[in-house]
Structure 1
Amino acid sequence: MKLAAVDIGSNAIRMQITSITQYEGVIKFKRIEYLRFPLRLGLDVFNTQKITEGNRRKFIKLMKAFKILIDLYEVDDYMACATSAMRESVNGKEIALEVKEEIGLKINIIDGNKEAELINKSLNKFFDEKTYLHIDVGGGSTEVNIYKNRVKLSSKSFQIGSVRSLDHKEATSVWNSMEDFVQKYLENSHSVISIGTGGNINKIFELSLPRKNKRYLDVEKIEYVLDQLQKLTFEERVNKLNLNHDRADVIIPAGKIYQRIMKAANSKKMLVPDLGLKDGIIQVLYERNKTKKPLI
């Protein structure tokens, strides 16, 4: 079985194709294709509420390329999900309809709660009886989920993200609302373990030079990495650290969002599993298709 997930974010657009097989009773998920294209739709939308004509044309070309790959890999099922940039854009639905009619690729424009639900699908194996705070920082929104004893207590999406924060336009009320939400559910909790998802926390983890097989970051290590990043200019981050241009400018504002939420929860440790929306989509597609198509 081959499944494809397309994640249309505010800072970049990703596609993952996964092959799922079964051998001696063991089901195996293997990523056979992954593409990330730096098309920053959020920069348009968070300033003008509209995707520009230039980016619309680029987006259509990219969707054509993704559809060709989906067909070439003979994918059994796919799902394309667009998040905050397209859902806030006045022409987002119009562009999604154009893609469907011209290319035959259906795009689901999802709200923040659905986005959080899909991301959580990929994280279920990490939850146990402890208390977990899941933080997913995207370009335009941040999803926060709270779990205790394997049960989700609450989930909320906030209009604050790495791209939206570039011009420091995020409202103080959003910061306060996010902190109040976390403290409401975790004020008397001890040993809260954070789980961080998103491209920026994955890069911060990589820059922390972790030991082999370690997937945890201490809050002090996050602070240290951000401090080192802030000492460098944009050009130094690109050339000395080999960061992509569309990562080098957003990694600090994103890191500060993770940091502030962890502080509100008094969380000292973060698990960074390198999973996200695309992985949750693959899980949903597998559940939808596992009874229809036998695994080989």
Structure 2
Amino acid sequence: MKLAAIDIGSNAIRLQIVTVFEEAHMVSFKKLEYLRFPLRLGHDVFKKGKITPATESQFKKLMQTFKLLIELYQVKNYYAVATSAMREASNGELIRKKTKSEVGLDINIINGRKEANILNKAIIPNLEDENYIHIDVGGGSTELNVFRGKKLIKSQSFKIGSVRKLSEKDRKVTVDAMQKWSLKAFPKKAKNIIGIGTGGNINKLFKIANKTKTNVIGLAELKALRAYVKAYSNRDRIKILKMNPDRADVIVPASDIYI
């Protein structure tokens, strides 16, 4: 059986197609296709409150491309989600309806809680009897989830991301709110809180760290990585650090949120 997933984010849009293998007590996947296109919906929405006609035209062409790939691979079922940029766009719902009628793709515009729930399905099986805070930094929002073992205790979405430009004052207010929420989410006696980072920026930082024997990065090391990347110009991040152009200009703001 072949399945597909479409992730319509603020900084990029992705399609993944897999073959699913079902056995007695296990389900496994083999990736057939992965496509990431740097269409930055958040650039429009977080400045103008809507998706502009030029960006909408590109979006339609991209959805037509995804639809064609889904048909060529003979996918049995797909699930398409759109997050903060499209849910905040004044014309997001209209574009969703037009995509369904003109392209034939059904998009689900989801809220921050639903976004976190989808991510948690992948995270929870790997959790042990510890205290965790899951931090997912996207282009337009950051989702925080607190776990005790495999049990989700609290979750909250904040309007801060790598693409969303906030004034220094608004950024400080939002970061302070995140920190206060995080402190209140755990019992006062909680110890050894483990952070789980997800998102393209933390994945890139991990690759730069060149970890081969562990999947752990300490806070001091994360701060050092952030300083290392910031020392490069955007051009050198692309040329020397091998970043995509749409990653080079957002990785430092994203790092600040994780830290």
Q: Secondary structure at the match of 1:143?
A: strand
Match of 2:201 in 1: 200
Question: Is 1:76–2:76 an aligned residue pair?
Answer: yes
Equivalent residue letter for 1:3:
L
Q: Secondary structure at the match of 2:74?
A: coil
- The Cα shift of 1:170 comes to 4.3
Taking structure 1 as reference, are residues 68 and 238 closer, same or farther at Cα in structure 2, changes over 3 Å only? same
46-55 or 172-181, larger mean C-alpha shift = 172-181
Q: Which has the higher contact order (CA 8 A, sep 6+)?
A: 1
Match of 1:211 in 2: 212
Match of 2:228 in 1: 228
- TM-score using structure 1 length: 0.84
- The Cα shift of 1:72 comes to 0.9
How many residue pairs match? The answer is 258
Equivalent residue letter for 1:118:
I
Cα deviation code 1:167-200 (max 9, x no counterpart): 7584432222111110002243211111100000
Question: Is 1:130–2:127 an aligned residue pair?
Answer: no
Match of 1:188 in 2: 189
In 2: Cα distance, 1:169 partner to 1:87 partner? 24
Q: For the Cα contact (< 8 Å) 1:3–1:17, is it kept in 2? A: yes
- The Cα shift of 1:252 comes to 0.4
Match of 1:114 in 2: 114
Taking structure 1 as reference, are residues 179 and 211 closer, same or farther at Cα in structure 2, changes over 3 Å only? same
Equivalent residue letter for 2:225:
V
Match of 2:44 in 1: 44
Cα deviation code 1:83-120 (max 9, x no counterpart): 00000000111111110001110010000010001111
In 2: Cα distance, 1:64 partner to 1:147 partner? 39
In 1: Cα distance, 2:152 partner to 2:180 partner? 18
Taking structure 1 as reference, are residues 41 and 167 closer, same or farther at Cα in structure 2, changes over 3 Å only? farther
Q: Secondary structure at the match of 2:217?
A: strand
- The Cα shift of 1:210 comes to 0.6
Q: For the Cα contact (< 8 Å) 1:166–1:250, is it kept in 2? A: no
Equivalent residue letter for 1:244:
N
In 1: Cα distance, 2:22 partner to 2:146 partner? 33
Match of 2:250 in 1: 250
In 1: Cα distance, 2:23 partner to 2:234 partner? 48
Match of 1:274 in 2: none
In 1: Cα distance, 2:94 partner to 2:26 partner? 43
In 2: Cα distance, 1:179 partner to 1:203 partner? 24
In 1: Cα distance, 2:24 partner to 2:148 partner? 35
Q: For the Cα contact (< 8 Å) 1:165–1:253, is it kept in 2? A: no
Cα deviation code 1:218-263 (max 9, x no counterpart): 112211111111111111111111111100010000011011xxxx
Identical counterparts, % of pairs: 46
Q: For the Cα contact (< 8 Å) 1:142–1:158, is it kept in 2? A: yes
Taking structure 1 as reference, are residues 169 and 64 closer, same or farther at Cα in structure 2, changes over 3 Å only? farther
Runs (5+) with no aligned partner, structure 2: none
Q: For the Cα contact (< 8 Å) 2:134–2:146, is it kept in 1? A: yes
Runs (5+) with no aligned partner, structure 1: 260-296
In 1: Cα distance, 2:7 partner to 2:117 partner? 14
